[in-house]
Amino acid sequence: MKPREQYMESLRQLKNEIMKMGILVEEALSKAMKALTELDSDLAESVITEDMMINRMEIEIEDRSIALIATEQPVAGDLRHVITGMRIVTQLERMGDHAVHIAKSTLRFECKAFKKPLIDISKMAELCISMHREVLSAFMDEDEIRARNLVDLDDEVDSLHEKVQRDMFTGMVEDESFLSQALQLTYISRYLERFADHITNISEWIIYGKTGNHVDLNG
């Protein structure tokens, strides 16, 4: 038998659980965006109820990590990866919350259609989802280079967010009936921008896990 086989297996399982949680978060955002663009309140409701699952996973993964630290006393790379995992699930949980916020905003729309198609917001969501997939596979492969490269996409999300804010503001000034719609869309843009920030936070933790160095990618 290889030394510490059980322990290595626990580390692998922990990583798999984090991946599963990550996939749930991706589904939550995809659904929330579909519910928004199609103004589908049933789908929006389901995003809100399914978030409980994400919250539960955060606690479960944290408990397992703590138990692993207490019983196996990981050190060096193993320790950094367990800590990284705990930080990542905190980020994922908040990202799930942003999907919920988008779903709740959707429920607040009283209109039957948008004044203009949601081009920039959809683009932001697409970027968020591909960033999210990339960060999860960087986590899986412990690839700090790919994690680091995500800042470029985050910059794109940031500038789209600024553009949406400007457009909505001009829209509100031009047409007062657009006010409440524009406000909700501004919030949604803000949630997406935050979602992407959490992804770069995850990137920072992946880099820490691999190298032991703290970096600031949002600075």
Partner 1 sequence: MGIAKNDIVLEIKNLNFYYGELQALININLEIKRNTITSIIGPSGCGKSTMLRCINRMNELIDDTRTEGEIFYDGRNIFDSDVDPVKLRRKIGMVFQQPNPFPKNIFDNVAYGPKMYGTRNRQKLREIVEISLKKAALWDEVKDRLLDKSLSLSGGQQQRLCIARTLAVEPDIILMDEPASSLDPIATMRIEQLLREVTDDYTIIIVTNNMQQASRISEYTAFINAKERRSGFLVEYGRTQDLFIKPQMKQTEDYISGRFG
Contact region for partner 1 (CB under 8 A) — 2-10, 36-44, 92-100, 174-182?
2-10
CB of 125 to partner 1, least distance (A): 38
> Given candidates 49, 55, 71, 73, which one binds partner 1 under the rule CB under 8 A?
73
The answer to whether 71 contacts partner 1 (rule: CB under 8 A) is no
Please tell me whether residue 79 binds partner 1 under the rule CB under 8 A: yes
**Total residues in contact with partner 1, by rule CB under 8 A:** 12
User: Among residues 78, 93, 120, 193, which is the contact residue for partner 1, using CB under 8 A?
Assistant: 78
Rg (CA), the chain: 19
Q: Give 213: exposed, middle or buried? Use CB within 10 Å, 0-12, 13-18, 19+.
A: exposed
Choose between 6 and 110: whose C-beta lies nearer to partner 1: 6
Nearer to partner 1, 76 or 113 (CB): 76
Q: How far apart are the first and last CA of the chain?
A: 47
Cβ atoms < 10 Å from Cβ of 7: 15
Of 80, 94, 146, 163, the one binding partner 1 by CB under 8 A: 80
Residue 3 makes contact with partner 1 by CB under 8 A: yes
CA dihedral 134, 136, 141, 145 (to 10 degrees): 50
